[in-house]
Chain A
Amino acid sequence: MARKTVEGSFAVAEAVKNCEPDVAACYPITPSTHVAEELASFYANGEIKAYIATEAELSSMSACIGASAAGSRTVTVTSSQGMALMHEAVYNAAGMRLPIVMIVGNRSLSAPLNIWNDWQDSVTERDSGWIQIYCENGQEATDAVPQAFKIAEAVSLPVMVCFDGFYITHAVEPIDVPSLEEVKKFLPPFRPAVKLDPKNPMSMGEYAFPAHYQLFRDDLQKDMVASEKKVKEIHDEYAKMFGRSYGSGVLEEYRSQDAESVLVSMGSVCGNAKEAVDQLRAKGEKVGLVRLRLLRPFPYAAVAKALEGKKIVGVFEKSYSLGALPPLYGEVLAAAADLKSRPVISSFVGGLGGKDVTVGNVLELYGKMKQGKKLVEWV
């Protein structure tokens, strides 16, 4: 393992390379990150087996589906509009139970046109049947890559590794990138139970009549829910081997066990929130942070347990659902619904289109939450 001071995108690309993918298929739409560019240069240098430069993102996902169905370890990289363009095939990948890994540099959706960070691109795909992991920094995103392949291949479901555009994709930080040899010890070769094979012809992604379609979707749902355990197990296994862990693998409780007031969030803003928590703790305020790592499957029981006994909860998210409750807020409300004494739960939406959410902003949130009233506000 070598510590490098590198851009998050480069470290993530190197982690992808060290997982020895058979096929990478990408279209670096604007806005994109350096991950796809770096994978293309790895291919040019003979360091990864195949890189398909497709003509659009829908083709990228379609190429991934074909490659994965043929038994290849497969990866793609996207952001924003590119991800939106993939939509149809994103559902196909999950429905066909293909363990594709998608690296997502989270960026906003048009219109207005905007290239900066928020989570609207991947949160929009939350119902597609992909496991979604959200990372706080470049190190976590790098570590999430080998975990993602292992989870995907263990449960036959595709996995997204999501990390914040600019804040993490473009940030140069000291990052330990696991080497090829180390990853080999953690991640076994991909040996799918079924695959497309000319010697043993079969069809995949078949037509399903009304009598059968729903059975497939029901299976998908059950396996998605069950995959939470595997995400945790594989996280723990990685932590043991590499010495770095991220809470329980499902969520991270930061000084929240004895807290009265807790903020729930995801991604890079949680670094700022940890700073704010430390400042308020130094003044004697009982505040904490619950950082969600897994958005799908949503860890309802783990969130409920983390919020048990709290008086005040605030949910901060860089995503929303027009005409409805913000997505993360809705999930947290549901998770807390059966708690004996329910906390007051407020919703804060912000950071859309790259609007900077600073330590100062988070301090203000804790200040507002202290009033003990339910708030629904923009930051």
Chain B
Amino acid sequence: MLEIRLHGRGGQGAVTAAELLAVSAAEGGKMTQSFPFFGVERTGAPVQAFCRIDDKPIRVHQNVYEPDVVMVLDASLLPVVDVCSGLKKGGIVIVNTKKKKEELGLKADKVFTVDASKVAEQYLGRRDRVNTVMLGAFAKVTGLVPMDALKKAISHRFKGDVAEKNIKAIEECYNSTC
């Protein structure tokens, strides 16, 4: 079973991102689960969301403590939250930041960065709408969710113009993650 933990701030859509990940993985034939952990329910407060992907039905219902993949939607959380807590050996961390991975000082084997805020601003008109965008980075880095499934999940969730813009942003993010 693969476990993913997302760190974001209230309003950035970490919960929706976890759900879209679950829906995309299900589109790709996997068994999935996602759920949020809210702290105080207000804009800007640290939020966690979880996603599990497996080949067999998922029975456990608990927070993710030993993730295989961590996604950080907001780099300002790095000094506040230990995002690498419990990360499995060989685990992956994907951070939305302008900085280079070496500058982040994260204790993880595999760190990837992408300027998702810039992509979000360019395609969606708002720097804080990074949740869907970051899924492009996840698809590229992990190879666990096919882009087609991701696009399908986006089209289920959003309509017309909004879906199209999100898909373009995801593609851009897919290409610019390093």
Contacts and interface: CB of A to CB of B under 8 A. Distances in A.
Interface of A: 5, 7, 115, 137, 164, 166-168, 170-174, 268-269, 271-272, 274-275, 356-359
A324 B174 CA distance: 58
B117 interface: no
B60 A172 contact: no
A164 B35 CA distance: 13
For the complex of A and B, the 3 pairs showing the least CB-CB separation, nearest first, are: A271-B59, A171-B35, A5-B26
A173 B26 CA distance: 9
* Most chain B CB within a 10 A radius of its CB, from A7, A166, A173, A359: A173
B163 interface: no
B59 A274 contact: yes
B26 A174 contact: yes
Interface in B31-58: 31-38, 41, 58
B61 A172 contact: no
A363 to B, nearest CB: 12
A192 to B, nearest CB: 38
Contacts of A356: 62-63
Contact of B33 (A115, A173, A359): A173
B13 to A, nearest CB: 14
A171 B61 contact: yes
Given A5-B22, A5-B26, A172 B33 contact: yes
Contacts of A274: 59
B150 to A, nearest CB: 13
Contacts of A172: 18-19, 22-23, 32-35
B62 A170 contact: no
Contact of A137 (B26, B41, B61, B65): B61
Contacts of A268: 61
Contacts of B31: 174
Given A170-B36, A172-B34, A174-B31, A7 B62 contact: no
A356 B63 CA distance: 7
A357 to B, nearest CB: 7
A166 B26 contact: no
A281 to B, nearest CB: 14
Given A271-B60, A275-B59, 9 more contacts: A7-B19, A164-B61, A171-B33, A171-B35, A172-B33, A172-B34, A173-B32, A173-B33, A358-B62
B151 to A, nearest CB: 15
Contact of A5 (B32, B38, B60): B32
Contacts of B18: 172
A271 B34 CA distance: 15
